[in-house]
Amino acid sequence: MIARMRLCVAPLAAALVTAAVLAAPASAATARAAAAVRAKLPNGLTVIVQPSPRLPVVSFRLVSRAGSVQDPAGKEGLARMTAELLTQGAGTRTAQQVAEDIEFVGGSLEASSRTEQFTVSCDVLKKDLATGLGLFHDVVVKPTFSAEEFARKQEEALGTIASNRSEPSVIAEQAFSSYLWGDSPLAHPAIGTEKSVKALARDDVASFHRRFVAPDRSLLVIAGDVEPAAILAQVRKAFADWKPSGEPVRDPYAAPAPVAARGIRVVDKPEATQAQIRMGCIAVPRNHPDYDAIQVANTILGDGFTSRLVNAIRVEKGLTYSISSGFTQHRGAGAFRVSTFTRNAKLRECVDATLAEIGKLANEGPTQAELDKARNYLVGQYPLELQAASDLAAQIATVEFYGLPQDWIAKYNDRVRAVTMADVKRVLGAYFCSDKLRIVVVTQGDVAKQALDGLGPVEVRPID
């Protein structure tokens, strides 16, 4: 089955959170979401319960202040390895028993680690809540980290790293991140490198878990068909044995310096007939007051079928199947970025046209019609993100994780509608770069180098 749009490309900004109708008055016929209930456990764990009783499902989502930014130098991949191992044996269960018990009830239990968010989620039907909570607690608090499972997962990570070298979009993402963030802890891929993964030891994982996946640096969101008082009592009891780490809660990276000059890095993939392209520059963190204006401006530039980039590069010129712009926004740093791909023969035309579109919008600003459309689009797409309990939990967790106001979700529509033309023009000028930026291209090295001649300094590298 194939689809019309850029379904597989570049995760847009982690931060495109939506949800507005939570606090909006329900239409007469319906009871929409009730208010969320918050609690803080003695061990420091923040708990938020969002009842949403439409279907008999319960979604747990724990987010800790931990991720690849905490990977020690030379041991890149540690945070991800810790997440991988969380479900491979916990409490009294072996890896196979954990998998069997959650899958038997048709539920899911997953742990993952990204740049600065370590997430454990569990989704079960309401009738299986006790099973789900028991498993969820055990993998969060009492993972076994057995030597055998560690050795197995280490081998698997090395295999995945090798396999990734034949995935053009993965190569492009990793190369762009490395190029843009430079020597920041934000730069390296979460999976690490062959060398750093080989340097990991079982005790590193146990220690990472003890220090960083701890209640005093975590929040837990529960959404779905639950009664807040009852589920809170269960959670208090279940997580009473979870010990705080006392580790200072801080972001272990500084905001990187702006990109000073245009630079181009080509990753040589000799058999490629299509060039993967990424470009962008340093912008602002997730909790920046310009967030809403940035979202509106980005919608105009590169989000949706009527955006400037899709119109110019895909519709008008037929250069690509997919192009989008977005913002990657962390707690302490952010970036503007564009992702696309084109056939090798059109590489230069595609890059030039993309840069020209960004520059034109940044210089001239949008039309009033474009501004109105973008605001309507953001507000209109918004409720769709609230339907599934797991989506709702994820959005509430994002608001909490980035320290946004508690009414952030409820006020979403108001804030987007309040973005003015002046706001949009200002952020376009401030963050949407077309001159001083980093460009990464993955395809045949000699072809790309020749095509990009004169655009800026070009270095050609092998796949990492």
Partner 1 sequence: MLRRLCLAAALLALASASAFAAAPKPAARSAALSPERFRVERDSLPNGLQILLHEDHSVPAVCFFQWFRVGSRNERQGITGLSHFFEHMMFNGSANVPPKQYDVQLESQGAYSNAFTSYDQTAYYEEGGTASLETMMRLDADRMRSLSLLPDLLKSEVEVVREERRFRTDNSVPGMLDEALYSAAFVASPYHWPVVGWMKDLERITRDEMVEYFRTYYAPNNCTIIVSGDFDPAWVKAKLREYFGDIPRQAPPPRPVNAEPEQRGERRVSVHYPSETVTFVAGYKAPAVSDPDHYALEILASVLGGGESSRLHRALVYEQQIALSADAGFRAQLEPGLFEFWVEMKPGASGADGEKALYAELDRLVKDGPTERELQKARNQVESRFVYTLETNRGAAQMLGRYEQNHGDYRALFDAVDRYRAVTAADVQRVAKQVFDARRRTVATLVPENETEAAR
Return the residues of window 208-227 that contact partner 1 according to CB under 8 A.
none
| 266: β partners | 441, 460
Strands (E), 66-150: 108-113, 117-125
- Contact predicate 282/257, CB 8 Å: yes
Q: Which of 11, 159, 246, 403 binds partner 1 (CB under 8 A)?
A: 159
- Contact predicate 414/49, CB 8 Å: no
Q: How far is the CB of 365 from partner 1 (least distance, A)?
A: 18
Residue span binding partner 1 (CB under 8 A) among the ranges 152-160, 234-242, 353-361, 398-406: 152-160
Torsion of Cα atoms, 40 then 45 then 51 then 53, to 10°: -150
How many whole angstroms separate alpha carbon 325 and alpha carbon 302?
A: 5
Return the residues of window 340-359 that contact partner 1 according to CB under 8 A.
341-343
Taking residues 35 to 74 in sequence order and writing x for each that binds partner 1 by CB under 8 A, - otherwise, the string is -------------------xxxx-----------------
- Candidates 218, 217, 336, 220; CA nearest to 288 is 336
Q: Which of 92, 248, 271, 368 binds partner 1 (CB under 8 A)?
A: 271
Q: How far is the CB of 358 from partner 1 (least distance, A)?
A: 20
Q: How far is the CB of 254 from partner 1 (least distance, A)?
A: 35
Residue span binding partner 1 (CB under 8 A) among the ranges 171-179, 285-293, 313-321, 357-365: 313-321
Q: Name which of 112 and 381 has its Cβ closer to partner 1.
A: 381
Interstrand relation of 263-268 and 438-443 (parallel, antiparallel or unpaired): parallel
Q: Name which of 43 and 131 has its Cβ closer to partner 1.
A: 131
Q: Name which of 55 and 422 has its Cβ closer to partner 1.
A: 55
Q: Name which of 329 and 342 has its Cβ closer to partner 1.
A: 342
Can you spell out the DSSP letters for 32-70?
A: -PPPPEEEE-TTS-EEEEEE-TTSSEEEEEEEEE-SGGG
Q: Does 21 bind partner 1 (CB under 8 A)?
A: yes
Q: Which of 35, 147, 162, 418 binds partner 1 (CB under 8 A)?
A: 162
Terminal Cα distance for the chain, rounded: 32
Q: Name which of 183 and 352 has its Cβ closer to partner 1.
A: 352
Q: Does 198 bind partner 1 (CB under 8 A)?
A: no
Q: Does 377 bind partner 1 (CB under 8 A)?
A: yes
**Alpha carbon distances (Å) from 30 to 24, 27, 53, 222:** 12, 6, 12, 22
User: Side-chain half-sphere of 219: how many Cα atoms within 13 Å?
Assistant: 18
Q: Does 449 bind partner 1 (CB under 8 A)?
A: no
Q: Does 421 bind partner 1 (CB under 8 A)?
A: no
Sheet with strand 334-343: strands edge to edge = 323-329, 334-343, 274-282, 438-443, 263-268, 458-461
Q: Which two tokens stand for residue 289?
A: 């007051």
- Contact predicate 361/428, CB 8 Å: yes
Q: Does 5 bind partner 1 (CB under 8 A)?
A: yes
Q: Does 131 bind partner 1 (CB under 8 A)?
A: no
How many whole angstroms separate alpha carbon 178 and alpha carbon 185?
A: 10
Q: How far is the CB of 405 from partner 1 (least distance, A)?
A: 22
Q: Does 274 bind partner 1 (CB under 8 A)?
A: yes
